């Protein structure tokens, strides 16, 4: 179907004042995609082959060629020189720079790694709307892959910075009361892929901000559900 028309600024302001929340633009396709995101591990387990691939009994026969002989006679490539020893003279006890510039280095490294995926480059920008729009246009598998590509683990300093930026965009979107259902699924995949990264000390502040935004969004949702429940109870009272 056609995409929903954007809400007017006055409507958005009134919704924010009353504590309303907004779901994704296309509920029909969004619901299926969100449910798939929550069940990706179960889907992978279901699609796992029941038996490993078997080598065929009669492999095809190939005639040797002159090129094969040249490959066998060719000298092996020269070994790469060993990496130079690391100079720790200017590093602090914790491995960071003495002037505390490790954060600046992480930001610069993240900018250099923006080509990992489209989500990485958008996370480095300031506009959280672009992140939500991009993720909303992806299928479940592609979306999950982009979130996974943000960081390779706690040792990946640029990736840690990308996760920090992405978590900040999720918090901003929650604070604007938008894409409530989609953000819940994105949070689920973020924690599934990067739980070890999110527990790092340098992410404690951004994670606390995200948790506070999630608590506020959950409270708004519970309030709306409770209000409707009260109205139903009044309507059905004897």
* Tens digits of residue pLDDT in 136-156: 888 888 999 999 999 999 999
How many whole angstroms separate alpha carbon 17 and alpha carbon 224?
13
The predicted model gives 49-60 an average pLDDT of 71
Q: What is the pLDDT of residue 110?
A: 77
How many whole angstroms separate alpha carbon 159 and alpha carbon 165?
10
How many whole angstroms separate alpha carbon 159 and alpha carbon 116?
9
The C-alpha angle with vertex 155 and arms to 153 and 156, in degrees rounded to 5, equals 70
SS (H, E, C) 92-151: CCCCCECCCCHHHHHHHHHHHCHHHCHHHHHHCCCCHHHHHHHHHCCCHHHHHHHHHHCC
Average pLDDT score over the chain: 77
Q: Is residue 66 part of a domain?
A: no
The predicted model gives 71-89 an average pLDDT of 59
At which residue do the structure tokens 């930001």 appear? Answer: 107
Question: pTM of the full predicted structure?
Answer: 0.62
Q: Is residue 197 part of a domain?
A: yes
Q: Is residue 11 part of a domain?
A: no
Q: Is residue 210 part of a domain?
A: yes
Question: pLDDT tier at 105 (50, 70, 90 boundaries)?
Answer: low
16 pLDDT more than 60: no
At which residue do the structure tokens 């296309």 appear? Answer: 26
The predicted model gives 163-183 an average pLDDT of 90
Q: What is the pLDDT of residue 58?
A: 67
The predicted model gives 65-83 an average pLDDT of 62
Q: Is residue 219 part of a domain?
A: yes
Q: What is the pLDDT of residue 38?
A: 65
Q: Is residue 17 part of a domain?
A: no
Question: pLDDT tier at 206 (50, 70, 90 boundaries)?
Answer: very high
175 pLDDT more than 50: yes
User: What is the share, in percent, of the chain residues with pLDDT greater than 70?
Assistant: 62
Q: Is residue 33 part of a domain?
A: no
Based on the structure, what is the number of domains in the chain?
Answer: 1
Domain span at residue 210 reads 103-238
How many whole angstroms separate alpha carbon 160 and alpha carbon 203?
8
* Tens digits of residue pLDDT in 90-104: 444 444 544 445 666
């Amino acid at each position: 179907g056609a995409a929903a028309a954007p809400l007017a600024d006055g409507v958005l302001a009134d919704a924010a004042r009353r504590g309303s929340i907004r779901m994704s633009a296309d509920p029909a396709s969004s619901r299926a995609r969100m449910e798939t995101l929550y069940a990706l591990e179960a889907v992978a387990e279901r699609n796992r082959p029941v038996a490993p691939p078997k080598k065929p009994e009669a492999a095809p026969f190939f005639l040797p060629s002159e090129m094969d002989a040249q490959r066998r006679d060719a000298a092996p490539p020269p070994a790469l020189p060993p990496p130079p020893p690391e100079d720790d003279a200017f590093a602090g006890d914790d491995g960071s720079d003495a002037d505390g510039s490790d954060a600046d280095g992480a930001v610069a490294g993240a900018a250099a790694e923006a080509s990992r995926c489209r989500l990485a480059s958008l996370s480095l920008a300031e506009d959280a709307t672009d992140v939500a729009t991009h993720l909303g246009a992806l299928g479940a598998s592609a979306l999950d892959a982009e979130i996974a590509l943000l960081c390779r683990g706690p040792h990946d300093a640029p990736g840690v910075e990308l996760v920090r930026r992405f978590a900040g965009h999720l918090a901003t979107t929650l604070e604007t009361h938008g894409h409530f259902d989609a953000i819940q699924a994105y949070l689920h995949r973020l924690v599934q892929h990067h739980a070890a990264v999110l527990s790092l000390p340098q992410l404690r502040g951004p994670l606390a901000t995200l948790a506070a935004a999630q608590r506020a969004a959950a409270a708004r949702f519970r309030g709306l559900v409770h209000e409707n429940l009260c109205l139903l109870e009044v309507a059905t009272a004897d």
